[in-house]
Amino acid sequence: MEDSVKKQAFNPYLPSWEYIPDGEPYVFDGRVYVYGSHDKYNGHVFCLGDYMCWSAPVDDLGDWRCEGVIYEKTADPYNKEGKMCLYAPDVVKGPDGRYYLYYVLDKVSVVSVAVCDTPAGRYEFYGYVHYEDGTLLGERGGDEPQFDPGVLWEGDRIYLYTGFCGQGDTSRNGAMVTVLDTDMLTVKEAPKFVAPPEWKSGGTGFEGHGFFEAPSIRKIGETYYFIYSSSVMHELCYATSRFPDREFTYRGVLVSNCDLHIDSYKPAEKPMAYGSNNHGSLVEIGGEWYIFYHRHTNGSWYCRQGCAERLERSADGSFSQAELTSCGLNGRPLKGEGEYPAYLACNLFTEEDSIYVGGGRFPKIMQDGRDGDEEPGYVANMEHGATAGFKYFDCQGIRRVTIWTRGYAKGVFEVRLVWDGPVVAEIPIEFTNVWEPYTAEVDIPDGIHALYFTFSGDGNASLRSFRLET
């Protein structure tokens, strides 16, 4: 791939063979750090790996560096044999200048804490969040199970946000906030509820977007932004308050990983990708706001990759929902020339609409090899009517398009600039067991465009990449 393309920022922002969902982004000392859980390619459940960290300079969001393993799952005394998974974490810089990592194991409903002197060094187990009498938070009578911690430090108070409430579960009461002392462990104020689940949302303003999981907290100016995954799972929503522990008002959807609700380029309720659960948060980088989230690959719930989109923030502090793109952290359209890998597809769909991950029925992003193999991703399972979409490109004088495909398939890839628009090029393909290039003439007007590739024909094709040429 050309150097000019390599220097750009893409979605997903990490290499295609890395699976870091649940991303919590922070800026420390001129670098963006992302903390998340760690899925495995072809994993059978969520979060099988140790905690990794990746970072990038704030002025070059296409230059991500792997900081390595920052915390092994066997470091927790409850998990010496490594039989439990490390669920979604959060990190906060504490009053002592050290960095504290909060997490929950998959079968222990208490909050564990690890600590490190640097943002991305080796974290060491520090303790469990507990009441003054030593009882662990989550084990006192009346406590709800702890899940998905999000943390904020202000003065002499540490605000810990937790909670989970699955669809149809009326035994849980929504997202909680617990105030901790500056030792980062001791409960100073018992949990109180700050956002309702769907079953308790009537008359609250949260109707249709009740709390499910993934609580995260940010403070912008004097306003607290509570970010969470709603009851429909595929969307990240937010609520705001003048206070960190009460009076949160629902404000809207930040991103949906199937692009529901967006009506700028298609009907609002038409899904343009296969979603499922979602988790992420806000960060300001270089004066721009971004929402970090994750997408699902390999036709699976358990194989998720980190993505990010730029957000528009209004004068009243509200955010508009972000549209799924391939350019994400680039902050602008990609260069409309050169070769791009197909795993950058932000839209994957067929003639059959589906909001949620559809297993073997639908096109999917996958890779050759096993987990840990640094093999580039591609789009597989392109049967008749399947479409892979990419957004956006600044095109100038483009006259040829080449695609690389393989598979037992014979037909045509139709190229469009709008998902349901006219065909601007037809690229015939044949059966091949290896990646083969196919080229067609194309007339793309100068300007910013999306690109959609729809397979029409027999069999099942895979799409590795495409190239735009003048």
Nearest to 150 by CA among 173, 121, 180: 180
**Which residue numbers are catalytic?**
22, 213
Which of 296, 314, 332 terminates a domain? The answer is 332
CA-nearest of 46, 103, 111, 26 to 72 is 103
Amino acid 23: pLDDT: 98
Range of the domain at 419: 335-469
Q: Kindly list the distances between the CA atom of residue 271 and the CA atoms of 154, 187, 267, 312, in Å, as whole numbers in the listed order.
A: 40, 43, 9, 22
Kindly report, residue by residue over 212-234, the tens digit of the pLDDT: 999 999 999 999 999 999 999 99
CATH number of domain containing 440 = 2.60.120.260
Please state, in angstroms and rounded to a whole number, the distance separating the CA atoms of residues 130 and 112: 10
Q: 348 with 322, same domain?
A: no
Q: Is 13 helix (H, G, I), strand (E, B) or coil?
A: coil
Residue 6 has pLDDT above 70, yes or no: no
Specify the pLDDT at position 2: 43
Same domain, 180 and 38: yes
Tell whether 327 and 445 lie within a shared domain.
no
pLDDT above 90: percentage of residues in the chain: 97
Last residue in a domain, options 332, 358, 388: 332
Half-sphere exposure of 321 (CA within 13 A, CB side): 19
Query: Which pLDDT value is given to residue 247?
Result: 98
Supply φ then ψ for residue 73, to 5 degrees: -65, -25
Q: How far apart are CA 23 and CA 169, in angstroms?
A: 26
Q: How far apart (Å, rounded) are the C-alpha atoms in residues 307 and 284?
A: 15
Give the pLDDT confidence score for residue 371 in this predicted structure.
96
Structure tokens at 378: 């591609």
Cα–Cα distance for residue pair 386/412, rounded to 1 Å? 12
**Across the strands, what pairs with 304?**
296
**Whether residue 363 sits in one domain with residue 324:** no
What confidence category does residue 335 fall into, taking pLDDT thresholds of 50, 70 and 90? very high
When pLDDT is cut at 50, 70 and 90, the band that residue 5 belongs to is very low
- Is there a contact between 262 and 323 (Cβ–Cβ < 8 Å)? yes
pLDDT (tens digit per residue) in 367-403 = 999 999 999 999 999 999 999 999 999 999 999 999 9
Buried b or exposed e, range 245-256, using 16+ CB within 10 angstroms: beebebbebbbb
276 and 348 belong to one structural domain: no
The average pLDDT across 309-333 equals 97
How far apart, in whole angstroms, are the C-alpha atoms of residue 92 and residue 4?
Answer: 36
Average pLDDT, the chain: 96
Burial class (CB in 10 A: 0-12, 13-18, 19+), 3: exposed
Average pLDDT of the residues in 98-112: 97
Q: Which residues pair with 296 in a beta bridge?
A: 304
Q: What is the pLDDT of residue 50?
A: 98
| DSSP codes, 122-146 | --EEEEE-B-TTSPBTTTSTTPPPP
How many angstroms separate the CA atoms of 24 and 421, rounded?
Answer: 37
pLDDT digits (tens, 9 = 90+) for 223-278: 999 999 999 999 999 999 999 999 999 999 999 999 999 999 999 999 999 999 99
Quick one: 322 and 348 in the same domain? no
Q: Is residue 1 part of a domain?
A: no
Return the CATH number at 236: 2.115.10.20
CA 415 to chain centre: 28
Nearest-angstrom CA–CA distance, 450 and 466: 13
Q: Which two tokens stand for residue 149?
A: 């911690």
pLDDT value at position 3? 46
DSSP state of 323: P
**Euclidean distance between CA atoms 397 and 115, whole angstroms:** 54
pLDDT for 93-104, tens place per residue? 999 999 999 999
- Residue-wise pLDDT tens digits, 14-27: 999 999 999 999 99
Q: Residue 145: which pLDDT band, with cuts at 50, 70 and 90?
A: very high
Q: How far is residue 55 from each of residues 13, 52, 117, 216, 246, measured CA to CA in Å? A: 11, 10, 16, 19, 33
- Check residue 4 and give its pLDDT: 45
> 167 falls in which pLDDT band (50, 70, 90)?
confident
Percent over 70 (pLDDT), the chain: 99
pLDDT for residue 455 is more than 50: yes
Confidence of residue 1 (pLDDT cuts 50, 70, 90): very low
Statement: residue 7 has pLDDT above 90: no
Using DSSP, state whether 72 is helix, strand or coil. coil
Of 332, 360, 383, which residue sits at a domain end? Answer: 332
Encoded amino acid at 55, one letter:
S
Q: What is the pLDDT of residue 358?
A: 77
Using CA atoms, how far apart are residues 321 and 251, in angstroms rounded to an integer?
A: 11
Whether 3 is covered by a domain: the verdict is no
Domain count, the chain: 2
Is residue 207 domain-shared with residue 112, that is, in the same domain? yes
Token pair recorded at residue 153: 């430090």
Q: Judge if 152 and 45 occupy the same domain.
A: yes
Check whether residue 297 and residue 372 sit in a common domain.
no
SS3 content of the chain, % helix, strand, coil (to 5): 5, 45, 50
Q: Is 412 in the same domain as 428? A: yes
* C-alpha span between 228 and 322 (Å, rounded): 15
Q: What is the pLDDT of residues 197-211, one digit of tens each?
A: 999 999 999 999 999
Reading phi first (left if > 0) and then psi (alpha if -120 to 50, else beta), residue 466 is in: beta
